[in-house]
Structure 1
Amino acid sequence: MSTPFSEDAFLSAIAAADLAPVKHLSLPDGKIVRYRVEGDKAGSRNGWAVLNRSPILNGAFGSWRTGEQHTWKADSKETMTPGERAELHRKIQAPEQARAAEEARVRADAAARAVKLWSGAKPATNDHPYLRAKGVYAFGLRSLRDQLMIPARDVDGKLHTLQFIGPDGTKRFMTGGRIAGCYYAIGRPDDALLLAEGYATAATLHQVTGRAVAVCFNCGNLAAVAKALRGKFPRLRLLICADNDATTPGNPGLAAARAAAQAVGGRVAVPVFAGVSHE
């Protein structure tokens, strides 16, 4: 039987991976638990963990927001029989199956909520404070009270989640919704398709060039969307329009754009600011 001390070691491993829970985590034997990770928004439950107490303490944990997952096993000097070792191996593998099943359920629930909200929302107008501040139009957007709604769909057109943008530019996504590989399309592609991170950048590009643009929502999603679109449009020219995060160490916007372009044989466009290097 495990001791509180040994369970503390599991919780310490979770904290060491920067996935510590906001509140104390109760861990029933062998059952996956969802929780809010420190630093995540209030009401979210992106963290998950499962702890098995036999034949020795072992478990797994991760985040549905980032997609990361980790396995853990307690240090033990006890000698196990071949049967116990087989059981341990099975239990170490089992959390992945439980995590996948729970993630699928969470994603399906979020998609259903997104469809309901989107279906009942009114078309957004160009006089929304955020759109006016950015000087862009509401290309097919809808609104819920004072929030703009941007749908995130996969290449087959299935709606998975929604991004909400407030009058002050505050952005948030529905809890539990799938983002990876999902995007919002502005316009119809002809011989080329542009990819950008945020809606305002994408709308500006569409207004200036007349080209179709895919809103990828963040730099971490550029490569996933680029690969999905390359599969859908194998002959289309893809141009990744980078956010030039020149004042941020490592310039993550440009680095992500270059990685996405390399993955799909695309090209990169980088905004140039006076007196600022894009390297």
Structure 2
Amino acid sequence: MDEEFMAAIAAAGLEPAKPLELIEGKLERFRVQGDKAGSRNGWAVLHLHPVPVGAFGSWKTGEQHTWKAISNEAMTPAQRAELQRSMQAAQEARSAEEARVRAHAAARALKLWDGAKPATNDHPYLVAKGVPAYGLRVLRDQIMVPARDADGRLHTLQFIAPDGGKRFLTGGRIAGCYFAIGRPDDALLLAEGYATGATLYQATGKAVAVCFNCGNLLPVARALRAKFPRLRFVICADNDSGTPGNPGLTAARAAAKAVGACVAFPTFSDLTDG
């Protein structure tokens, strides 16, 4: 059954970078193919009795899946109860490990942040984007953007290299976390990346919540709506017009609908000679 379970993990796009040895009932962490070396964002747990069932997912993406072996045999009430206990145990193991991973990442993020120097406006990435360093810090040659929840707790850091390459601290919570630029008065703007958020702040003087990616627009919008129930929100979308489904605009519209916000986005027109 291990082979079938591993095939399900691979089919979900979470194939381990190395062969995974599973011990029944024990949650195992692993590096997903394509993730950076040293990371262990993937997780899986397998129970074999009374019917093989398992759960797996990624702390990087937040996704989680369940799996059950196909069986033609009808289960007895006792077997169904045991199956339910196995699934509950898998969920509890996942939750406990996630809490441990998140706490470790948050502690590391705070240590790195406290030991870093303020970023300056002459960092190559900021120069290329034409924006200043609003409350950023720098570690060696990398900008650090803190991701905090609505209560101000630091959970993880985004690192931006001089060439614009971005990565997050392994294991840190991103969902519902953001980087704040300015203080809200009559309106709050939500955007994906730091450069976009800084540009919006420069242009409007309105407070901005940098959500890091389009998938985080909705969780951040909901968290901030609970904190600012009467504030006017504007979701400033990335217009991914060249990408099928336009994920930036689609996610922005879903977030706006959920919290009663407006959507603003750039438009593009084809340029022709003459």
Counterpart amino acid of residue 104 in structure 1: A
- Give the secondary structure class of the aligned counterpart of 2:144: strand
Selected match of 1:69 from 41, 64, 72: 64
Measured in 2, the distance between the counterparts of 1:242 and 1:79 equals 51
Q: How far did 1:82 drift?
A: 3.1
Cross-structure match for 1:142:
137
Q: How far did 1:78 drift?
A: 4.8
Question: CA separation of 1:252/1:77 partners in 2, compared to 1, >3 Å: closer, same or farther?
Answer: closer
Q: Higher mean Cα deviation, 55-64 or 188-197? A: 55-64
Q: How far did 1:83 drift?
A: 2.4
Cross-structure match for 2:13:
18
Selected match of 1:214 from 209, 216, 235: 209
The CA deviation string for residues 2-56 of structure 1, in whole angstroms up to 9 with x for no partner, is: xxxx211111111111111111000011100011112222221111101112223
Measured in 2, the distance between the counterparts of 1:253 and 1:259 equals 10
Selected match of 1:125 from 120, 129, 138: 120
Give the gaps of 5 or more residues in structure 1.
Answer: 1-5
Cross-structure match for 2:256:
261
Counterpart amino acid of residue 262 in structure 1: K
1:115 aligned onto 2:110: yes
Q: How far did 1:273 drift?
A: 2.1
Counterpart amino acid of residue 18 in structure 2: K
Measured in 2, the distance between the counterparts of 1:247 and 1:170 equals 21
Q: How far did 1:249 drift?
A: 1.1
Q: How far did 1:275 drift?
A: 2.7
- Give the secondary structure class of the aligned counterpart of 1:75: coil
The CA deviation string for residues 178-210 of structure 1, in whole angstroms up to 9 with x for no partner, is: 000000000001000101100000001111111
TM-score by length of 2: 0.96
Cross-structure match for 1:3:
none
Selected match of 1:226 from 216, 221, 225: 221
Selected match of 2:89 from 88, 94, 97: 94
Q: Higher mean Cα deviation, 86-95 or 221-230? A: 86-95
Selected match of 2:22 from 7, 22, 27: 27
Measured in 1, the distance between the counterparts of 2:70 and 2:245 equals 38
Cross-structure match for 1:155:
150
Measured in 2, the distance between the counterparts of 1:57 and 1:247 equals 43
Counterpart amino acid of residue 73 in structure 1: K
1:56 aligned onto 2:56: no
Measured in 1, the distance between the counterparts of 2:69 and 2:258 equals 39
Selected match of 2:234 from 211, 236, 239: 239
- Give the secondary structure class of the aligned counterpart of 2:84: helix
Q: Higher mean Cα deviation, 264-273 or 163-172? A: 264-273
Give the gaps of 5 or more residues in structure 2.
Answer: none
Cross-structure match for 1:175:
170
Measured in 1, the distance between the counterparts of 2:122 and 2:200 equals 19
| Number of residue-to-residue matches in the alignment | 271
Measured in 1, the distance between the counterparts of 2:247 and 2:234 equals 17
Task: Calculate percent identity across the aligned residue pairs.
Answer: 73
Measured in 1, the distance between the counterparts of 2:75 and 2:174 equals 43
Q: How far did 1:215 drift?
A: 0.4
The CA deviation string for residues 58-98 of structure 1, in whole angstroms up to 9 with x for no partner, is: 21111112222122122234565432332122102211111
1:249 aligned onto 2:253: no
Q: Higher mean Cα deviation, 38-47 or 230-239? A: 38-47
